[in-house]
Each structure stands twice: as C-alpha cells, then as structure tokens.
Amino acid sequence: MAGVVLQVVLVGLGSPLLVGVMRQVRARLEGRAGAGIWQPWRDLRKLMRRQPITPAGTGWMFRAAPLLLPGTALVVASVVPLVTTASPLDGVADLFAVTALLTLGSVALALAGLDTGTAFGGMGASREVTVLALVEPTILLSVFALSVPAGSTNLGDIVTAAAEHPLSLISPVSLLAAVALVIVSIAETGRIPVDNPATHLELTMIHEAMTLEYAGLDLALIEWASAMRLSLLLGLLAGLFAPWGIATAGAGPLALLVAAVVIALKVTVLGGLLAASEVFMAKLRLFRIPELLAGSFLMALLAVAASYFLA
C-alpha cells in the first residue's frame, strides 16, 4: 500500500519536473540557458490561479475532459509497476485495462476538442484519433508479446518474470517490442517526430490543437495530465526492459525508497535521451506519420509472432 501511495505521489509531483528536465536538456543542447527545471511547476501554479473560462456552446464533454484525463492518469499511476509490483489494485494492473484507461483519456480529450466546434479543435481531434487508432493496438500487441513468456497479462507478473530471467530480455521478442513501444510512446505523448509540443503551427499540431480553447485550471489539469502520461509511458518502458530495482511484494520501506530513487533516475535518463534525440530530428510530415506507426505496429506483431515461434 505504501508503495502505491509513494508511486502516485512520485508520478504526480515528479512529472512536471521531468518535463522541465527535458526542456532544459533541449535548451542546453541548442545553446540556450533554459528556464530551469521548475518552470513547468511555475506555469501550472500560474494557470491554477487563473479563472477557467469555457467557450459558449460547449457541452459537458468539454468540462469532463480536464477531469477525466488526469483521473485516468492517476489510476494508471497507481497500478503500473513503477516502484513496486504489489498493487492493491492488482486486478486492474492488467495490460488491457491500462491501455483502455490511457485510451479513455485520449478519447475524452479528442471529443472535447470536437465539442468546441472550432476548426482547429476538430482538426486536432481527427489527427489524434488517426494516431490513436494505430497506437493503441501497437501498445496492446507489444506488451502482449512480452506477456507470453510470463504467461500472464498482468503487468506486475510480466515485470517480475523479466526481473527473474534477465537473459530473456536479449531476445528478438523484447528487441522488436522495445522498438515498437518506443515509437508509440513518442507518438502517444506527442513528441518529435510525430508532434511538436513547442509549437502551435496549424499545419502540423495534433495535441496542442485540441487544448487551444482551455484556460486556467482546466488547462493546468490537462498539462499536468500530459506530463503524467509521458512519465508513465517512460516508466513502463523502463520497467519492462530494465526491471531492476523494482520492489516486489512484501518489501520493506527502505527497498521502496531505493526503488523510488531508481525509477526516478531511469525515467530521467530516458527523458534526457528522448529530449537529446529530438534536437537532432526533424518532425515528420503529417502524411508520413501513419507509415511510422504502421512500422511500429508491424514490429509489435512480429514480436507477438516471434514470442510464439521462438518460445
């Protein structure tokens, strides 16, 4: 129980920091001073003080999305094995449930974007759903491929099995699944080369187009949720492919603390790598994104196939 609380707190408080670190890495690599790693928190604090306004004519969907998005992210944060594999919500720590929860958040935001009735909102929603349609099956398939050796779709069991047999991590299954998951994580969190979180260019934006009409507390919630989703997916990657240091059931408080430090380190390193690679990459043209995602889908499918053939 303590582990889960620690995990949720870590994700909730640490996610904006992760975004700050990534921006700072980018800034330094690009030769700028950067705003410091606390800037996302300062932004959130500023937004929270402002009054949320809703455009005229929008319905309940527009108001529900800023609650659903962080809500689902927090539930996922409580079940995904980041700090500990022993979650009291163990039954929900199923891979399908986690994927469905993440999708629920994305769909809510897409519907909210449509609800505004503006051109940008609808465009962003349609692009988001296009990406989503290829991302979700890929996540499902690649984690499913990893679940075959463990014999269970429970994320905790998968991570435990991987930690017990580290040799199985250098197999084609995890190689292919890792490639697929990295690509879809980038797409899902709206990073380069799929989407650029730093611009509001109407030709290319996906995620930002849907949040244009939000202000104040609502915007803060959405930004916070996006940061959490990013750290959750990076944490999931770290847990699945480098499962060392994660506390198992019945671990003492010290082990939990160590695990928390380890996961924070792993996610920070991953985030730093991601930010560094973004500096050297150009954004893909929109019509080539399905190509990239189809590629990752194929990798995931091959991973599933390989987990059966080569088992």
Residues that bind another protein (CB under 8 A): 167-168, 170-173, 175-176, 179, 290-291, 294-295, 297-299, 301-302, 305-306, 309-311
246: left (phi over 0), alpha (psi -120 to 50) or beta: beta
Could you say which DSSP state residue 303 is in?
Answer: H
Min separation Cβ 298 and another protein, Å: 5
Q: Which is nearer to another protein, 48 or 169 (CB)?
A: 169
**In this structure, are residues 103 and 136 in contact, taking their beta carbons and an 8 Å threshold?**
yes
User: Judged by CB, which is closer to another protein: 168, or 248?
Assistant: 168
* Shortest distance, position 9 Cβ to another protein, whole Å: 38
**Which helix H or strand E contains 126, and what residues bound it?**
helix 119-150
Half-sphere exposure of 42 (CA within 13 A, CB side): 6
Residue closer to another protein (CB basis): 67 or 133:
133
Length in residues, the chain:
311
In sequence order, the β-bridge partners of residue 94 are: 154
Q: How far is the CB of 21 from another protein (least distance, A)?
A: 31
Residue number with CB closer to another protein (167 or 203): 167
Tokens linked to 164: 């017990």
Please tell me the distance from the alpha carbon of residue 73 to that of residue 150, in angstroms, as a whole number.
25
Minimal distance in Å, beta carbon 153 to another protein? 21
Nearest distance from C-beta of residue 143 to another protein, angstroms:
17
Indicate the residue among 151 and 253 with the shorter CB distance to another protein.
151
**Shortest distance in whole angstroms from residue 170 CB to another protein:** 6
Between 22 and 299, CB nearer to another protein: 299
Closest CA to 204 of 275, 277, 118, 287: 287
Calculated CA dihedral for residues 90, 228, 222, 285, nearest 10 degrees? -120
